[in-house]
Structure 1
Amino acid sequence: MDNNRAVAIYTIICFFICFCQITGQTLKGYVHVNKKPMNAAEVFIVDSEQKKYFTITGENGQFSIELPNKKWYSVKIFSNKKLLLDRNIFLEGNKIENFSLEEKEVEIKGLDIISKKKIIQQKVDRLVFNVENSIIAGSGDVLDAILLAPRISVQNDEIKIMGKNKILVMLDNRPINIQKNDLINYLKSIRSDDISSIEVITNPPSKYIAEGNSGIVNIITKKSKTDYWNLTLNTSGQISSRFINKDGIIYNLKHKDLSISSSVNYAGGYSVPTKFSNIEYPDATWTENNNQLLLTDNFSSRISIDYKINKHISTGAQYIGSYSSPVIESNIESNIFGKSNNNSLIQTKSKDSKNNKFTSFNYHIIYAIDTIGKKISFDFDYFNNIGNTSQVYATNIINDLGSLSNSQSFSSGKNEGAQRINNYSMNVDVEHPTSWIDFNYGARLSFTNTLNDIKFYNLNEQGINLDKNKTNQFSFKEKNQAIYFSANKKIGDKWEAQVGIRLENIQTNGFSKTLNQESDIRYTKFFPTAYILYKLNDHNQFSVNYGKRIHRPEFSLLNPFKYIYSPYSTSEGNPYLLPEFTNNLEFTYNYKDFMITSLYYSDLKDGFDMLNMLDNQSKIQNVRPINFITNKSYGINQYFYLKLFSWLNVNLTLNIFNSQSKSNTPITLSYLNGWNLETKADLNFTLNKQKTFFLGVNLWQTSKGVSNLDRNSSGYQVDASLKLLLNKKLQLICYANDIFRSNIIAYTGFSNNNETFYRNYDDLRFVRLSLVYSFGNKSIKESSREVKNSEEKERAVSK
């Protein structure tokens, strides 16, 4: 069966490649000014449907461009921002046209061939925040610009789309596959002046993998004709309860057809997170305080190389490597208050040491078939993750007055775990525009192998003894074959529609050597997407989109063996855990340049989560992931972009939604319904006329509400930053996070009719002082050719 599927996918790919070879008609031309050939003149062509094409003349003034047949075209020719010629032609079949001019050129102010774009644009499948049209967004770094983008929240150094679990950040349509801390430093090193736009994709099209109920933030940079190199050094010191330092170097080079981007980052230091829980048993109340000391020790590096072989073919590769060795020391004090004053006290100390090596490699090649947008892209990706952990605990029962059963006064143990993950994937993507509709299709193959080896040792007076009953080897394999297809059509000046379908075929196999237990899961699923955009006029636009998503469990959740933290705390995986599926529907109204209203609905089936299973007799807590949640939620997201004064810009977001969750296990509540309110405000002040001194204030608040089958308390957070541009090379930034230490949200739920209460704080209140120094001969000059291409391109490309 697998061979048949592989043959079918191979046949479809071959058909796609052959189908892609269909080309349009060719317009060849010669540009002469005063009877002399014009070199590097910019040829800008617009058809009757306002589709735009672009090319550039060679040394002999010749150009060649493929266009859809039987249409009228407006041809404008520029040189150094001067309009040389404006002519209308009709194309039917291949044609050669001479464009000669003997009169004096007419200079124009700027490029009036393109009307000024709005700051925020609604496209059929995404929102576009045009950074180059925003004065405040264009005066800092990329992270400053992201803060102003609609529906985006940057909180505690994490980028989110409001209403989404996680996001994928891309740069020029290519994923930035680096860790969260490194990602923030990387984005801070890019000037917002070098950014053209930021695309917010809340419901990704079918060409993107269907994994995760997530969104995409795609950062589009301006292109440069000139060669350049630049080096950026950044360092920061962060003080919370302890100290963390972060340092990095970024080097970029463009020389002719070669581009190189590289970085090295290090983060090290300590933080002091705290955790508190309370469980109401029928005969006792169990409270637990966990004070932790967390060591961060992470080194990472990245290098990407791209080379344009000729006008049709470009290729490149990217390497990412990281090594981290965090350590968590926990000091847990558990108090058990019996209903008959039979109280007990337990103290547990543990040390969890990890080291993780991550290696990622990507190779890609792009073949641009013609000048009207036909192209084929091929990607090969590989990653390898090697993780080792060692966790030692010692538990003392200081006082036992009968509230515990079958208890020992002292126990100690050691967990050792190793995990190996290897993944190979190949992706083919084809863009195929025609004169009446634009197609996009492709295929993806992915192979994943994981091996988990867990050992448990009893530590006692006799020494270290391996407990074979608590030791396990577990392997997991996953194969994924996917094909996708989408079509985009503009209908007149007001309507645009896009539909897509993605088919994913999955086979998984999990095997526990110790338990001699094997699980095979196979499924084939369709993931449709649909988008409609209606432009009532220049100030009012409406859009609606639908998409289906899948979220597969992490590999660590599939290991069936128990991991022991103390005699009263264990966790285990579930090899029969199934993926969860989500249907998303969204309606959006965009008014002018500053207001976006979104109504959304989400339907989750077979949702999985970590479930804390309490035993009323032994008081043992065992955490295990299971599929037990069905959730329906709907709400409204209101966004405002307000420029109140030349020195004050305000970004406001209001998110109100209702969540209705059902459970199919008697361990939890059977049903929970509630409303939630989230608000966010970003205030950006320009403090001097030179626009070198800035103040940012960010406020976030959430009301009491529900999270699946738990109730959550309210919370808020206030952040502030001062940025000083000492010159074009040096930036000084002072940032204060969670100033009032107020982002402490508690969750209340039920397990086996026992009320549970959890409240954690990750040491979020800190002050960070950063220096960013950049130098080199970087000179990104806005070229009409490249900027126009990026501005007018209607679809995104994923690699």
Structure 2
Amino acid sequence: MKYFTNNFLFLAAALFLTSQAFGQAIRLTGVLTDSDNSPVEIANVLLLNEGGDLVTGDFVYDGSYSIEAPGAGTYVLHFTAIGFADGSTPLDLPEGVDSYDVPTFGLEAAGVDIATVEVTALRKPLFENQAGKLIVNVGESQLAAGSSVQELLAKTPTVQAEEEGGVSVFGKGQAIVLLDGRRVTGNELTSLPADDIEKIEVISNPSARYEASGRAVINITSKKNRRQGTYFNLTSSQRFGRHWRSSNGVLASFRNSKVNLQGSYYYHPYKKDFTEEYEREQGEVALDQRIDRLRDQHRAHTYRASLDYNLGPESGIGLQYRGAARGQRDQVSNVNLISGAGDLTGIFNASNSGESSMRNSLTFNYWKNFGDDGKELRFIADVVDHNFDKSELFNESFRYTGSEDESRQRQSTNRSDVTVGTAQLDFTLPTTWGAGSLTTGVRAVSIESRSSLLFEEMIGSVMIEDDNLSNKYNYQENVGAGFTDWAGSFGKLKAQAGLRAEYTQTDGVSRGGNGTVIDRDYLNIFPSIGFTYPVAHQLDMNLKYGKRIDRPSFGDLDPFLFYIDSLSYSQGNPDLLPALSHNIDYSLIYRQFASFNVGYQETNNALFQYVEPIPDQEGGARLSMRNLDRVRTFSVGLTLPYQTKTWTTVNNFGMKWNEVSTTLNGEELEFNRPLWYAAFYNSVKIGKGLTVEATIQYNSSGQNGIFTFSPNLQTNAAISKKMLGDKLSLTLSANDFFNIDRNRTQVNIEGLDVSTESFYDAHWVQFAVKYRVGTNKSSKLDRSIGNENSNRIN
């Protein structure tokens, strides 16, 4: 391992030291007008080299544009707009500057019938790769058609999204997910419609402006109407697999010069199968277990309403409400075949449960720009309330050799209510030092979780409470944070440096724990620093360091014992400590598309799942969370995209090496294993509005904490057709072509040997329809608060 580590560090150092610079990017800004000197509201601006080849391009909004030239030299700026003749102007960019003001350019009216013009707009690239940030412009793809946000993330390169909502980033670990600047839970992702999403940003090493939680940040932006008028998007998808699934919704929008009003509603009932298989050996006892779960989500509603109001040309407010209501029924068959446990040969458990949940959130934004000197003020306040109720009835029978079967009936009632309040204030001002900007801000978060579990057993004909399993738990967490972050440049070198401080107070009281089980407070400092340097023509080098924290989830801290059957259960651990990680990333980025990345991460008190024998219960096992002493992760990644007018391909390759060191019950343990990763995305436009897309993701075997997992392959493909002037879109998609999407793990620890295999009905075909109706006209540059706030962090 020492040989591997030394070579890894040598590779990173060699790449850094041998880079030679001979170019400097230059930011071009300018104004585009018509013959009356009025701003052209929407246009395309293209930067061409001396040979007439496209270097880069962007959109012109409200007459203003800003694009980046790769360096000094001779270029041509070319402008196109509906109703105007094309125009061009030559540019000679000098050495030694990082910005250039292009003289105002005017377009002449074309004198043609606009109704007969065929519009070929400049497309945003589907994938962009900026310093430490992968951007997926979902609005340019059919990836989202008929999917949930969780399913959309599963198709995103470098992102690992589990079926039940857990999200991680390759080489980093568990990520926090932000939706329009608000943090969302994993369970929430499974019910959010992907058709409502405009853009996804995967930020592998966030700056001090972000909250320090999570190993990475995934920032999701909802669609915003940027054109005046009224329109409706109607969507419907029908999925056919082992069971039928449906998703139907409407997105409505109205906008004028002052108001941007938007709302959406989706209804998505479904049935889904989950299967888990376990083989467990403990001493002389062997168990072969299979759990089949049929989930019937008969009530699933998701809704959103937002209002943005421009108070003036440089200020505005925004208000957004999100809600979700869900009701589901689960039928579970749990079969345990047992040997080596005396006369006991099997345990059979059939259970039925009913579950309902409500989630409501309200977000307020205010922003103000102080003229043209770069001063900005941002304020956001948010409150989220989530209620959950579940009741489950267990009918359990025990089979013995030479005697009659025994039966037992139990029931549980679980309730929880979580309220999260957040407020944040940021202020940005320009700095003469480094021609940059300084942002400072404060943030306060208050979390209150109240939960109860009532567990009862039938004694005679009466249900009697089981005091060993019943519990009540109240948890309170308060986090106060302040940060300062600077970004600027010194000639060719772009730099960022930030410092964040977070003070956390936690308090947990449990009836089962005889009072207080958590009472701690701690202060953490999180520095971040990054540099970007052009090492060649259109090739940038980026180096970043950041410190992050992983706080245990409410469920991980809950001391409740969640009953599966008489020999297995899971339980929270209130003694969990937060995990702290240090991250170093080096990358080479070509034309903001292709990239090569090298990363190192060291985590203390890493959170991981742990399985252990139940004391004094032969064959029993308990699943809980524990802290690992130290985990070191080395990672290498390569992204190779290519895009033409008709073909887009993105190819990702990666390897990570995990070194796990910990002491469990007095025994020192080490686990080392590599993981190989590959992901491929291809989209081909074959004419007449037809587009074909396909994604493939492969993970080799690897190590996650004490668990070893087997290889996994995920596949998805879609063909779409646009008609009626792109107003109608039809998409036919298929998932898991070969029906082989399985998760397999193995662990051997403390005399307990466990092998698992889990899968769900991921093998399906889906038909989706989207229709857009309404009239729009061009509007000025979007300054809606949702758009500004969610993209305020570089």
> Is the CA contact 1:649–1:683 (under 8 Å) kept in the aligned structure 2?
yes
Aligned to 1:618: 618
**Does the CA contact (< 8 Å) of 1:126 and 1:202 recur in 2?**
yes
Distance 1:622 1:126 in 2: 39
State the distance in 1 between where 2:326 and 2:741 align: 27
- For the residue of structure 2 that corresponds to 1:739, the secondary structure is coil
CA apart distance, 1:176: 7.5
- Report the alpha carbon displacement of residue 470 of structure 1 after superposing the two structures with TM: 3.3
Deviation at 1:681, TM superposition (A): 1.2
Aligned to 2:429: 432
Amino acid at match of 1:270: K
Q: Is the 8 A contact 1:284 1:338 kept in 2?
A: yes
2:393 aligned with 1:392:
yes
The correspondence of residues 405-444 of structure 1 with structure 2, limited to 5 A, is 409-435=406-432, 436-444=435-443
8 Å contact kept, 2:285–2:619 = no
Deviations 1:236-267 (A, max 9, x none): 11122111111111111112210112111111
SS at match of 1:186: helix
User: Can you give the 5+ residue segments of structure 2 that lack an aligned partner in the other structure?
Assistant: 1-31, 44-57, 65-76, 93-102, 111-121
8 Å Cα contact 1:482-1:504 kept in structure 2: yes
The aligned counterpart of 2:205 is 203
After the TM superposition, which residues 349-748 of structure 1 pair with which residues of structure 2 at under 5 Å, given as runs?
349-400=350-401, 409-435=406-432, 436-492=435-491, 494-518=492-516, 519-592=518-591, 594-615=593-614, 617-643=617-643, 647-666=646-665, 670-688=669-687, 690=688, 692-727=689-724, 728-748=726-746
Matches within 5 A, 1:756-775: 756-775=754-773
What RMSD over aligned residues (CA atoms) do the two structures have, in Å?
4.2
Listed as ranges, the matches of 1:74-153 within 5 Å are 123-128=130-135, 151=158
Q: Secondary structure at the match of 2:215?
A: coil
Report how far residue 138 of structure 1 moved: 12
- Classify the secondary structure of the residue corresponding to 1:556: helix
Corresponding position of 1:319? 321
One-letter amino acid of the counterpart of residue 630, structure 1: R
Q: Distance in 1 between matches of 2:670 and 2:618?
A: 28
Q: Which residue number corresponds to residue 179 of structure 1?
A: 188
1:613/1:667 contact within 8 Å kept: no
Q: Which of 281, 303, 306 lines up with 1:304 in the alignment? A: 306
Q: Partners in 1 of 2:124 and 2:243 — Cα distance?
A: 47
Q: What is the distance in 2 between the residues matched to 1:490 and 1:472?
A: 57
User: Which residue number in structure 2 is paired with residue 60 of structure 1?
Assistant: none
Contact 2:265–2:302 at 8 Å: present in 1 too?
A: yes
SS at match of 1:590: strand
Partner SS state of residue 618, structure 2: coil
Return the alpha-carbon distance in structure 2 between the equivalents of residues 55 and 235 of structure 1: 33
Name the CA distance, whole Å, in 2 between partners of 1:86 and 1:687.
Answer: 35
Shift of 1:290: 0.8
Change (3 A) 1:121 1:542: farther
For residues 374 and 171 of structure 1, do their structure 2 counterparts lie closer, same or farther at Cα, with a shift above 3 Å needed? farther
For the residues of structure 1 that align with 2:700 and 2:507, how far apart are their CA atoms? 43
Do the aligned partners of 1:539 and 1:591 also contact (CA within 8 Å) in 2? yes
Deviation string, structure 1 residues 667-714 (Cα, Å, up to 9, x no partner): 9981110111111111222222x3x11122222212122222211111
Q: Deviations over 1:563-619 (max 9, x none)?
A: 333222233222222211222211111234652111111112112233222137522
Counterpart of 1:325 in 2: which secondary structure?
strand
TM-score for the superposition, normalised by structure 1: 0.78
3-state SS of 2:373 partner: coil
Of 747, 769, 775, the residue aligned with 1:777 is 775
CA deviation map 1:643-675 (0-9, x unaligned): 4x7644322111111111123213998111011
Query: In structure 1, what is the Cα distance between the partners aligned to 2:791 and 2:599?
Result: 23
- Is the Cα contact below 8 Å between 1:603 and 1:633 reproduced in 2? yes
- Between the two proteins, what is the percent identity of the paired residues? 17
Cα offset for 1:187? Answer: 3.7
How many angstroms apart in 1 are the aligned matches of 2:735 and 2:619? Answer: 38
State whether residues 424 and 444 of structure 2, in contact with CA within 8 Å, keep that contact through their aligned partners in structure 1.
yes
- Distance (Å, rounded) in 2 between the aligned partners of 1:86 and 1:682: 37
User: Following TM superposition, by how much is the alpha carbon of 1:392 offset from its aligned partner in structure 2, in angstroms?
Assistant: 1.6
- Amino acid in structure 1 at the alignment position of 2:603: L
Counterpart secondary structure, 2:559: coil
Q: CA deviation at 1:778?
A: 3.1
Report Cα offsets for 1:447-499 as digits up to 9, x if no partner: 1112112211112333211234432221111111000110011111x210101
2:323/2:358 contact within 8 Å kept: yes
Tell me by how many angstroms 1:277 deviates. Answer: 0.3
In the TM superposition, 1:257-336 aligns within 5 A as: 257-296=258-297, 297-336=299-338
Distance in 1 (alpha carbons) for counterparts of 2:534 and 2:789: 15
Change (3 A) 1:786 1:306: closer
Q: CA deviation at 1:130?
A: 7.4
Rounded Cα–Cα distance in structure 2 between residues aligned with 1:437 and 1:362: 30
Residue of structure 2 in register with 1:26 after alignment:
none
Query: In the alignment, residue 162 of structure 1 is paired with which amino acid?
Result: F
SS for the counterpart of 1:326 is strand
1:162 to 2:170 alignment: yes
In the TM superposition, what is the alpha-carbon distance from 1:117 to its structure 2 partner?
Answer: 9.5
Q: CA deviation at 1:380?
A: 1.2
TM-superposed CA distance for 1:549, in Å, is 1.2
Looking at structure 2, the residues matched to 346 and 356 of structure 1 have their Cα atoms a distance apart, in angstroms, of 31
Alignment CA distance shift 1:425-1:578 (3 Å)? same
Does the aligned pair in 1 maintain the 2:34–2:108 contact within 8 Å?
no
Name the CA distance, whole Å, in 2 between partners of 1:664 and 1:361.
Answer: 44
C-alpha change, 1:315 and 1:704, in structure 2 (3 Å) is same
User: What is the CA–CA distance in structure 2 between the aligned matches of 1:146 and 1:623, rounded to whole Å?
Assistant: 27
Contact 2:131–2:542 under 8 Å retained in 1 = yes
Partner of 2:17: none
Task: Return the letter of the residue paired with 2:365.
Answer: H
Match of 1:193 in 2: none
Aligned-pair distance for 1:514? 4.7
Which string of whole-angstrom CA distances, capped at 9 and with x for unpartnered residues, describes residues 397-419 of structure 1? 123479xxxx9922221111111
| C-alpha distance in structure 1 between counterparts of 2:143 and 2:399, whole Å | 61
Amino acid at match of 1:180: L
Q: Which amino acid aligns with 2:548?
A: R
Q: Deviations over 1:320-364 (max 9, x none)?
A: 111112222110110112299x66011111123221111111111
Distance 1:288 1:471, change over 3 A: same
Q: Structure 1, unaligned stretches of length 5 or more?
A: 1-30, 45-51, 58-62, 64-75, 89-98, 110-114, 191-196
Farther off after superposition, 462-471 or 271-280: 462-471
Q: Distance in 2 between matches of 1:146 and 1:164?
A: 16
Contact 1:559–1:575 (8 Å) recurs in 2: yes
Q: Does 1:753 align with 2:751?
A: yes
Deviations 1:165-202 (A, max 9, x none): 455566776768893244343346x6xxxxxx764422
Shift of 1:506: 0.5
Check conservation: 1:393, 1:565, Cα contact below 8 A. Answer: no
> In structure 1, what residue type is equivalent to 2:208?
S
In structure 2, C-alpha distance between the alignment counterparts of 1:400 and 1:481, rounded to whole Å: 61
CA–CA separation in structure 2 for the residues paired with 1:179 and 1:740 = 29
Change (3 A) 1:653 1:172: same
Q: Secondary structure at the match of 1:183?
A: coil
**Structure 1 letter corresponding to 2:216:** S
Match of 1:14 in 2: none
The Cα offsets for residues 354-381 of structure 1, whole Å up to 9 and x where unpaired, read as: 2111111111111212223211111111
Question: Are 1:547 and 1:583, in contact at CA under 8 Å, matched by a contact in 2?
Answer: yes
Q: Secondary structure at the match of 1:664?
A: strand
Contact 2:254 2:262 in 1 (8 A): yes
CA distance in 1, matches of 2:762, 2:319: 37
Between the aligned partners of 2:789 and 2:565, the Cα distance in structure 1 is 56
Q: In structure 2, do the counterparts of structure 1 residues 394 and 522 end up closer, same or farther at CA, with 3 Å as the change threshold? A: same
1:444 positional shift: 0.5
Q: Which amino acid aligns with 1:126?
A: K
Q: Is the 8 A contact 2:386 2:419 kept in 1?
A: yes
